[in-house]
Chains A and B, each alone.
Chain A
Amino acid sequence: MSKKKNGFVVRFIHWGVALSVLLNAFILETGSLTHRYLGYTAVSLVLIRVLLAKKLNFDHYNPKAEYVYWSIWACIGVLGGSGYMMEMDQFFGNQKLETLHYYTSNTLLFLVSLHLVGIFTDAWIHRRKTWMVMISGRRQ
């Protein structure tokens, strides 16, 4: 009973984080107010997701790809941390933090592309609709 509800939370978090990453990486201006608050939102969502991961036993994702998910979450954590620090008075606009933020975001985008390659490979070569898990909540 609660499994379905959690499934919805996981999907909501997935698309919320995906949208935040796309907007922050490709659309919103670096360091703008919306970029910052959207970033903090993404970190909060990831935090909830990581806490959920400990509580729940998910069977709907590929355990072999689990390191990709954890790497993605770690990147988002580093982005949030370095972004927050850049706003502190003593590090305001700090270029070392900005460089860290920049390379972490590139790493994140690389991981996202790995994630997409995995999904598409599954769909086209193995004819599995793995992506349905994040849309309807179940494999079809």
Chain B
Amino acid sequence: MKNFVSIFLLSLLCVACTKNETKCTTEPKSQWKDQAEFKQNLKDQGYKINEFKVTSGNCYEIYGWDKDKNKVEIYFNPVSGDVVKSEKH
């Protein structure tokens, strides 16, 4: 019984935790950079973009390759254009 209760409480705790999601800005979308210009700017810097998306954490996110041919997933602040999180794959 003790086992069961502790496992149940543990799973409740897991569900209660908020998802660890990268958040980039709280600014309204009107302040965000134009998507086409943003992508073009990255291409000019040598990035190859396989996929571009706007995340639920208010980021511009790309899947692709950087100028050194590293396979990367990068989260950008859509207002400033700064890299918030970069992950190599």
Contact = CB atoms under 8 A, between A and B. Distances in A.
B44 interface: no
Contact of B71 (A23, A31, A33, A89): A89
Nearest to A95: B51
Q: Is the interface of B mostly helix, strand, loop or mixed?
A: mixed
A107 interface: no
Contacts of B36: none
A65 B28 CA distance: 48
A95 B19 CA distance: 21
Interface residues of A, number: 20
A26 interface: yes
B89 A92 contact: yes
Interface in B10-28: 11, 14-15, 17, 19-22
B51 A23 contact: no
Contacts of B14: 22-23, 26-27
Given A30-B21, A94-B51, 9 more contacts: A18-B11, A22-B15, A26-B19, A27-B14, A33-B87, A87-B89, A89-B71, A92-B64, A93-B63
Interface of B: 3-4, 7, 11, 14-15, 17, 19-22, 50-51, 53, 62-64, 71, 73, 87, 89
